[in-house]
Chain A
Amino acid sequence: MLKSVGHNFYTPFLSLFDQLVLGNCVLLVNLRRMRLEKCWFCSSTVYPGHGIQFVRNDAKIFHFCRSKCHKNFKMKRNPRKVKWTKAYRRLHGKDMTQDSTFEFERKRNRPERYDRNLAENTLKAIKKIDKIRSDRASDHIKNRLKTGKVQRQKEARKQLELGIHLVKAPLALAQDSSLCLPKIKDNVSQAQTEENQPMEE
């Protein structure tokens, strides 16, 4: 029977090792709490066993997810100016900044009494909230890119209009209407036929 000795769920883990009484023998097990940190530079999650923690002389801890972020930090780069970091993207409005789903991820230092139902529900909720958050984030990006897409389509249509003779010989188009390009939009095809008529003559 595994019984935990001197191991309190309600209090933060103070000792590096806790004793687990397993039958007659006592095992020294490292029950240090695992917390998913955020990389200081790129804001991605640092899972246990990854990355480096740097402790500055004023006891401020910097977590890094990989050596790329660590090296950038050593170069004294400002993450708000480095394009691929979350800090830059949030600052420049590339990524969603304000959303109610972010409230769930706030750091809480108060330890919770272990409740099996609570834990189960929390796990389910985490999955759901994650999905909602990522959906909203991708919508945000899609909306941001919408204007560019419309603009590009407009330009493409115009280019097609002007350069239709590069795509298909105007004579061929006039002779065999089945070779006509698929309709993009009504006004475009009308412009095409209007253009071709003077050419015929």
Chain B
Amino acid sequence: MCIRVIGASNHRYAHIGDVIVAVIKEAVPNTPLERSEVIRAVIVRTRKELKRDNGMIIRYDDNAAVVIDQEGNPKGTRIFGAIARELRQLNFTKIVSLAPEVL
């Protein structure tokens, strides 16, 4: 669950590529992350449309984020689902390279 958007005021919503502060509500057992842990994550997919400069509008089927550490490297080793291309410009290269599909 999202607590805060990094680098934004109270009245801003996070979009694809924004880093958020979140708390884990549900965790798979036997993983390094536990329930009610406060972590940082970068948003990779949103149901809200993403508008690109070339006029393309993309909408995903769900809202998804990848848990990262302070430097911006993903904490995990795998990523599921498609990733938006915007992340490459924002220097999340590790995430982009792990992604099965970049759209």
- Total chain A interface residues with beta-carbon distance under 8 A: 17
Task: Report how far A104 CA is from B91 CA in the complex, Å.
Answer: 41
| B28 CB-CB contact with A under 8 Å | no
Contact residues in A for B56 (Cβ distance below 8 Å): 48-49, 53
**Interface majority SS (helix, strand, loop, mixed), chain A:** loop
Contact residues in B for A16 (Cβ distance below 8 Å): 85, 88-89
B53 touches A30 (CB 8 A): yes
Query: Which of these, A17, A49, A52, A55, contacts B61 with CB under 8 Å?
Result: A55
Contact residues in A for B100 (Cβ distance below 8 Å): 59
Task: Report how far A54 CA is from B58 CA in the complex, Å.
Answer: 6
Chain A 33-87 interface residues, beta-carbon cutoff 8 Å to B: 34, 48-57, 59, 61
Contact residues in A for B59 (Cβ distance below 8 Å): 52-55
- Minimum C-beta distance from B8 to chain A (A): 24
B54 touches A56 (CB 8 A): no
Contact A55:B103 (CB < 8 A) given known A16-B85, A16-B88, A16-B89: yes
Task: Report how far A56 CA is from B45 CA in the complex, Å.
Answer: 11
Contact residues in B for A51 (Cβ distance below 8 Å): 57
**Interface majority SS (helix, strand, loop, mixed), chain B:** loop
Contact residues in B for A30 (Cβ distance below 8 Å): 53-54
A53 touches B57 (CB 8 A): yes
Task: Report how far A49 CA is from B53 CA in the complex, Å.
Answer: 9
Chain B: which residue is nearest A53 at the CB level?
B58
- Minimum C-beta distance from B30 to chain A (A): 25
Contact residues in B for A56 (Cβ distance below 8 Å): 61
Contact residues in B for A48 (Cβ distance below 8 Å): 54-56
Chain B 80-97 interface residues, beta-carbon cutoff 8 Å to A: 81-82, 85, 88-89
Contact residues in B for A32 (Cβ distance below 8 Å): 54
Task: Report how far A48 CA is from B45 CA in the complex, Å.
Answer: 22
Task: Report how far A53 CA is from B85 CA in the complex, Å.
Answer: 14
Chain A: which residue is nearest B101 at the CB level?
A59
Contact residues in A for B60 (Cβ distance below 8 Å): 54-55, 57
Contact residues in B for A57 (Cβ distance below 8 Å): 60-62, 81
| B49 CB-CB contact with A under 8 Å | yes
Task: Report how far A54 CA is from B88 CA in the complex, Å.
Answer: 20
- Minimum C-beta distance from B10 to chain A (A): 30
A54 touches B103 (CB 8 A): no
Query: Measuring CB to CB, which residues of chain A are less than 8 angstroms from any residue of chain B?
Result: 16-17, 30, 32, 34, 48-57, 59, 61
Query: Measuring CB to CB, which residues of chain B are less than 8 angstroms from any residue of chain A?
Result: 45, 49, 53-62, 81-82, 85, 88-89, 100-101, 103
**Top 7 closest A-B pairs, CB basis?**
A49-B55, A59-B101, A59-B82, A52-B57, A57-B61, A53-B58, A55-B60
Instruction: Name 22 A/B residue pairs within 8 A (Cβ), A-sorted.
Output: A16-B89, A17-B89, A30-B54, A48-B55, A49-B55, A50-B55, A52-B49, A53-B57, A53-B59, A54-B58, A54-B59, A55-B45, A55-B58, A55-B59, A55-B60, A55-B61, A56-B61, A57-B60, A57-B61, A57-B81, A59-B81, A59-B82
